[in-house]
Chains A and B, each alone.
Chain A
């Protein structure tokens, strides 16, 4: 079946502009994660959605970052007033739910964001 998809694959934006990144998880997966990966770094947790529960936003680096998940499926990560330090690859992952190992996540290919 289809894996996790993300769009766009690449985004170049000017400093100060807003951007929206989209994630389509695997159908039926109730858990969805957003991560950020800077050059040569490990993955940095941003936000976690599980079903209809309130999201865990503890990893969002500033109030310029927000995310929503509509209908328990598609998620959008929004970065307002982008800064150069926001340049990174943004990865989305999903997993079936609360059962199974937390780390058995299925990742999308990522969106490479470049802020000029």
Chain B
């Protein structure tokens, strides 16, 4: 069964304290891994697409990386406005028209 697991469920950091969120997956043939940011009361906002092991994408204080079994979302010197829930999703096989989502990591950055 295709599965995506995110850890930790929740993470509290001080402003400026760098850390990483994890997304591990078990799928038959990965055809894309996607990261989203979701603010309370809003729909997810697309951040990154990763396709192959070794690939990296960056946006401001966020950097997403991909291996054959997991992806990391690294956050460097975070600010309070980075507080949100971060969701990971995968396209599990070629031709799949739907994504499998993880349950998310709720990130809180304290000033």
**A113 to chain B: closest CB distance in Å?**
14
A102 within 8 A of B: yes
Contact B49 A45 (CB under 8 A): no
* Chain A hits for B54, CB < 8 A: none
A48 contacts partner chain B, Cβ-Cβ < 8 Å? yes
Say what secondary structure dominates the interface of chain A.
loop
The smallest C-beta distance from B95 to any residue of chain A, in angstroms, reads 10
Closest chain A CB from B41 CB (angstroms): 7
- Is A43's CB under 8 angstroms from B44's CB? yes
Nearest CB of B to A67, in Å = 14
Interface string of A43-73 (1 = CB under 8 A from B): 1110010100000101100000000000000
Q: Are B32 and A107 interface neighbours, CB within 8 A?
A: no
Q: Provide the residues of chain B in CB contact with A96, threshold 8 Å.
A: none
Beta-carbon nearest neighbor of A104 in chain B: B46
Contact across chains for B102 and A48 when beta carbons are under 8 A apart: no
Judging by beta carbons under 8 Å apart, are A107 and B43 in contact? yes
Q: Assess the B104–A42 pair: CB atoms within 8 A.
A: yes
- Alpha-carbon gap, A5 to B42, bound state (A): 11
Indicate if B58 sits at the interface (CB-CB under 8 A): no
A42 to B25, CA, bound (A): 14
Q: Report B11-69 residues with CB < 8 Å from chain A CB.
A: 31-34, 41-46, 49
With beta carbons under 8 angstroms apart, the residue of A41, A50, A108 that contacts B43 is: A108
Cα separation A105 to B12 with both chains bound (whole Å): 28
Given A56-B98, A101-B32, A102-B99: 7 more A-B contacts, CB < 8 Å: A43-B99, A44-B101, A91-B44, A102-B91, A103-B49, A104-B34, A109-B43
Residues of A within 8 A of B (CB): 4, 33, 40-45, 48, 50, 56, 58-59, 91, 93, 101-110
